[in-house]
Chain A
Amino acid sequence: MELSEYVQKGFQMLADPGAFDSNAFTLLLRAAFQSLLDAQADEAVLDHPDLKQIDPVVLKHCHTAAATYILEAGKHRADKSTLSTYLEDCKFDKERIDLFCTEYQNNKNSLESLLGSIGRSLPHITDVSWRLEYQIKTNQLHKMYRPAYLVTLNVENDDSRTYPEISFSCNMEQLQDLVGKLKDASKSLERATQL
């Protein structure tokens, strides 16, 4: 994990009981996790009365350092020993290391989930709707009498802002072909997971 001097300095300040007492340390740590994981969090996350006596510049520095480190650790799936080693290097005492690791463990799943959801991917199918119709005539062709399906795939793009839909028509044979192929894919998937 590549961590900058800025992060290291921030942690060294966090390690100092003179700058952050136990209570303030815990609060800042929680605030860092909250800023990252809570969608509604904003700058007010640092507005706690017990943090008021600390210089706001220092507060911001440590908060940023902690958040940066948490993200890097999450990205690389750091284990407890990796975390402890780094925190020791930053002069954390045992109590603070344990506190950090516990908080990290509590939030690990949400963190990894968040990081995993960031990134580019192909448009993702989320649902399908279908319509069965019986075609009787068009203005070009009378006496048709055949069934047809209209299938719509609901698709999500990775920026979650556009929701294009893909619609197409097909007859029974074509739908059977489509379903057959999708079933092949899911059987393959089952077999792959059993390996």
Chain B
Amino acid sequence: MLLDLSEEHKEHLAFLPQVDSAVVAEFGRIAVEFLRRGSNPKIYEGAASKKGRGKLNVSSDTVQHGVEGLTYLLTESSKLMISELDFQDSVFVLGFSEELNKLLLQLYLDNRKEIRTILSELAPDLPSYHSLEWRLDVQLASRSLRQQIKPAVTIKLHLNHNGGHNTNVLQTDPATLLHLVQQLEQALEEMKTNHCRRVVRNIK
């Protein structure tokens, strides 16, 4: 599958052959860093001005577009998980030098896994399991009844949601606890059944 690059995108990337490969590699690093941490406009200023590796003599806008174009190239390729060959063919249409193409391919392959991890965090998100703590309690008395022996399991469930951390404190009785364990063990067993194995094997 080839990447479909828009005219605007190609324009932005057209900046890349005008600088030497060390600079392109640097932009690549900046692009991945932005994907990790969010963008930082000050970097564009720094790169465009006399700082950095010699005068670039371009506007910070151009630098920004270049980096953004590179970012989009990397994220789209990673999202679709395109093969090496497809990536090379997609980039070929930009008319870059072979050295630049190689560099871009390497950039893609080196960062693909990490970018996919970052992209997976963008999916519609349900709270996800983080960890669980438990404690055994025995209720001995309450305001309405003395001399009790009522065992209970207190559970602190830690969940992650939208980058934040939720904690739920819950309780259950011994019988329900056994039931929970049994039900969830069945859930785990399900992945080992023939049906699930067949699906996993055949959907690629």
Contact = CB atoms under 8 A, between A and B. Distances in A.
Contacts of B122: 138, 140-141
Nearest to A112: B145
Interface string B149-182: 0110111010100000000111111101111110
A127 B182 CA distance: 11
A192 B136 contact: yes
B181 A179 contact: yes
A150 B170 contact: no
A178 B154 CA distance: 14
Contact of A182 (B129, B181, B187, B204): B181
A193 B177 CA distance: 15
Interface in A168-193: 168-170, 172, 174-179, 181-186, 188-189, 192-193
Nearest to B143: A119
Contact of A125 (B128, B155, B187): B155
A153 B132 CA distance: 14
Given A124-B171, A130-B183, A186-B181, A141 B191 contact: no
Interface in A120-135: 121-130, 132, 134
A143 B204 CA distance: 8
Given A153-B170, A185-B136, A174 B129 contact: yes
A37 interface: no
A189 B127 contact: no
B180 A142 contact: no
A76 B181 CA distance: 36
Given A75-B144, A124-B170, A125-B155, A178 B129 contact: yes
Q: Which of A123, A147, A153, A168 has the most chain B CB atoms inside 10 A of its CB? A: A168
Interface in B3-37: none
Contacts of B134: 181-182, 184-185
A128 B180 CA distance: 6
Given A141-B123, A168-B129, A186-B174, A132 B196 contact: yes
29 contacts: A75-B146, A112-B145, A116-B142, A119-B144, A122-B154, A124-B170, A125-B171, A125-B176, A125-B180, A128-B179, A130-B187, A134-B196, A138-B122, A140-B119, A141-B119, A142-B80, A147-B196, A151-B187, A153-B170, A168-B129, A169-B127, A169-B128, A177-B131, A181-B134, A182-B184, A185-B153, A185-B155, A185-B177, A189-B136
Interface of A: 74-77, 112, 115-116, 118-119, 121-130, 132, 134, 136, 138, 140-145, 147, 149-151, 153, 155, 166-170, 172, 174-179, 181-186, 188-189, 192-193
